[in-house]
């Protein structure tokens, strides 16, 4: 894997080099010391991955991410000194197309003082997404207990925060369905994302809790380190299974549980993101007769997840981002 490094700190660059040296097959493609350099270097030497800092001179990491995704799209992982402290910038970068974010490893007296394991795990996950070229299977699901509540189940990854802000921001405060969102997000800043999204929409946004039922006018966000499911009673369940899933929480795991257990009205929505997480789950929902929506290519920051759903026939509708909220409002009305 050829990796571009973007950071204005010589010490941080050295820490990143030492981290990548731990893995055979990881190669530094180039080093840029600001966002503008990174944008200009991506075209002549396209990397398999860019490790992007946030705060830099000339062009910051958010603007650089946006430009790279516009000109020469490639996976971008935000690697910055403190993702929690820079939460709002992290969400902006993810909205521009970054896949994920992690703290920068720190050099100690003789080695890495802040462990490199978290960064390596993120890179491994991105590599697994890139390698996954299989066709998702749309599994049929058995009937379950009848539910009386309406549900909108949304999955998103890279580019998701901005897309979610747009979609949720256009729903009325008295929207007639509960909303559950599974966004690929690190546990270190999931609470910050809840607060940020709550400011973008008239709906109430909070972290999904075990035993809680989705309710009209409320958006429940899956946490960053466990899968979220709904059981046959319509309650939220947090689980570590399946452990082999590339991302936790997994969009597929949640949408599959909706297909298996939710028997009232529901719509599945798959937004921008890298990879194909969510395509199989959306297909399972469609097999069970639910309406399923995938974001279109033109409005997706990263046309990976919705593309996989569209190609598998998992989406009954393919819509531009701006049209999804009006469609949902027309379906569910208000309470």
For the annotated catalytic residues, the residue numbers are 157, 184, 277
Collapse the DSSP code of 322 into the 3-class scheme (helix H, G, I; strand E, B; otherwise coil) and give the result: helix
Under DSSP, the state recorded for 54 is S
286 CB-near residues (< 8 Å, 6+ apart): 138, 268, 292, 313, 314, 315, 316
Distance between CA 169 and CA 192 in Å, rounded? 17
DSSP states of 168-221 as a string?
HHTS-TTBSSEEEEEE---GGGHHHHHHHHHTT-SSEEEE--TTPPP-TTEEEE
282: which 2 tokens? 């959306």
Distance between CA 317 and CA 134 in Å, rounded? 22
User: Do residues 179 and 218 touch, judged by C-beta distance below 8 A?
Assistant: yes
Beta bridge partners of 207: 221
Distance between CA 240 and CA 237 in Å, rounded? 10
User: Do residues 234 and 213 touch, judged by C-beta distance below 8 A?
Assistant: yes
Collapse the DSSP code of 16 into the 3-class scheme (helix H, G, I; strand E, B; otherwise coil) and give the result: helix
Identify which of 231, 187, 179, 185 has the alpha carbon closest to the alpha carbon of residue 205.
Answer: 179
96: which 2 tokens? 């521009």
As a whole number of angstroms, the longest Cα–Cα distance in the chain is 62
Q: Residue 15: how many CA atoms within 13 Å on its side-chain side? A: 26
User: Do residues 145 and 262 touch, judged by C-beta distance below 8 A?
Assistant: no
Element (H, E) at 228: strand 227-230
Beta bridge partners of 270: 155, 294
């Amino acid at each position: 894997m050829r990796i571009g490094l973007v950071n204005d700190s010589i010490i941080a660059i050295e820490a990143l080099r030492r981290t990548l040296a731990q893995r055979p097959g990881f190669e530094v493609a180039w080093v840029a010391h600001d966002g503008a350099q990174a944008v200009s270097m991506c075209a002549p030497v396209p990397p398999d991955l860019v490790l992007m800092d946030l705060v830099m001179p000339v062009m910051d990491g958010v603007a650089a991410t946006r430009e790279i995704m516009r000109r020469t799209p490639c996976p971008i992982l935000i690697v910055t000194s403190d993702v929690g402290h820079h939460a709002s910038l992290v969400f902006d970068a993810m909205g521009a197309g970054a896949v994920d974010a992690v703290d920068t490893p720190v050099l100690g007296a003789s080695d890495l003082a802040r462990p490199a394991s978290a960064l390596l795990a993120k890179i491994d996950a991105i590599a697994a997404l890139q390698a996954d070229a299989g066709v998702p299977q749309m599994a049929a699901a058995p009937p379950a207990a009848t539910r009386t509540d309406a549900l909108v189940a949304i999955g998103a990854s890279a580019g998701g925060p901005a897309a979610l802000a747009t979609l949720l921001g256009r729903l009325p405060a008295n929207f007639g369905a509960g909303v559950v969102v599974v966004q690929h997000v690190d546990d270190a800043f999931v609470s910050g994302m809840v607060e940020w999204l709550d400011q973008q929409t008239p709906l109430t946004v909070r972290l999904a809790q075990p035993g809680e039922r989705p309710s009209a006018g409320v958006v429940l966000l899956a946490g960053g380190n466990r899968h979220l499911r709904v059981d046959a009673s319509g309650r939220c369940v947090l689980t570590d299974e399946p452990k082999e899933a590339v991302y936790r929480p997994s969009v597929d795991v949640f949408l599959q549980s909706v297909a298996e257990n939710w028997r009232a009205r529901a719509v599945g929505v798959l937004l921008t993101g890298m990879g194909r997480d969510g395509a199989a789950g959306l297909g399972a929902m469609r097999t069970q007769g639910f309406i399923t929506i995938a974001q279109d290519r033109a409005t997706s920051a990263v046309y990976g997840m919705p593309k996989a759903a569209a190609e598998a026939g998992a989406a009954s509708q393919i819509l531009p981002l701006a049209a999804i909220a009006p469609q949902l409002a027309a379906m569910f009305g208000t309470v």
